[in-house]
Structure 1
């Protein structure tokens, strides 16, 4: 039986953190706002090649990618604050509650 992870706050309110689960690379414009608000190292900017493959960014290889997008590099480091989703101008993020 799965249960959602929740925390009782000092106010008595129950809070259910939601953790980053997906990021829509088609909507992402690579602005980096989410990267700047995430202090946990969850996100990483990547290049997208002509055929849609993600490639690591390298200052010397700017001709190899068509655009930049944010990726979820370390979802396990997410603390469920949802700051990335709140600042994203394109609403690229989806979060989900942890199941215990």
Structure 2
């Protein structure tokens, strides 16, 4: 296992984002805004809880979903790009994210 350190030399273990609970997530986008790696994407959800697809960043009126859009949620879209900084968990008002330590992922 690689040993991670801060710039100051302190031991540090990355905590990688692995999942976002679609029931708890309110789709506020705070995590998306602070993520330096573009790990997450916003998705539309219908009344039955089915994921309709990714919401375009430029589409404010949500025409792509033919009136079926009930709410929006964040989802892990590119987990391989996560650097384990945990910035997303610090801004999430619902604590709906699951992070796994680098130690656990490499085991």
Fold equivalence (TM over 0.5): yes
Q: Deviations over 1:49-98 (max 9, x none)?
A: 22221112363126112110001000100010001110000011111112
Point out where structure 1 has 5 or more consecutive residues left out of the alignment: none
Normalised TM-score (structure 2): 0.80
> How many angstroms apart in 2 are the aligned matches of 1:9 and 1:33?
25
Match of residue 67 from structure 2 = 63
Once residues 44 and 79 of structure 2 are traced to their aligned partners in structure 1, the CA distance between those partners, rounded to angstroms, is 19
Aligned to 1:85: 89
- Segments of 5+ residues of structure 2 without an aligned counterpart are 57-61
What is the aligned-residue RMSD (CA, Å)? Answer: 1.7
Aligned length: 97
Deviation, 1:6, is: 3.2
85-94 or 53-62, which moves further after superposition?
A: 53-62
Runs of 4+ aligned residues of structure 1 deviating over 6 Å after TM superposition are none
Q: Going by fraction, where is strand more abundant, 1 or 2? A: 1
Distance in 1 separating the partners of 2:38 and 2:30: 13
Contact 1:6 1:17 in 2 (8 A): no
Of residues 23-32 and 5-14 in structure 1, the stretch that sits farther from structure 2 once superposed is: 5-14
Structure 1 residues 62 and 41: CA distance shift in structure 2, 3 A: farther
CA distance in 2, matches of 1:12, 1:79: 18
Report the CA distance between 1:21 and its aligned residue.
1.2
Provide TM-score, normalisation by structure 1.
Answer: 0.85
Indicate the residue corresponding to 1:8 in structure 2: 5
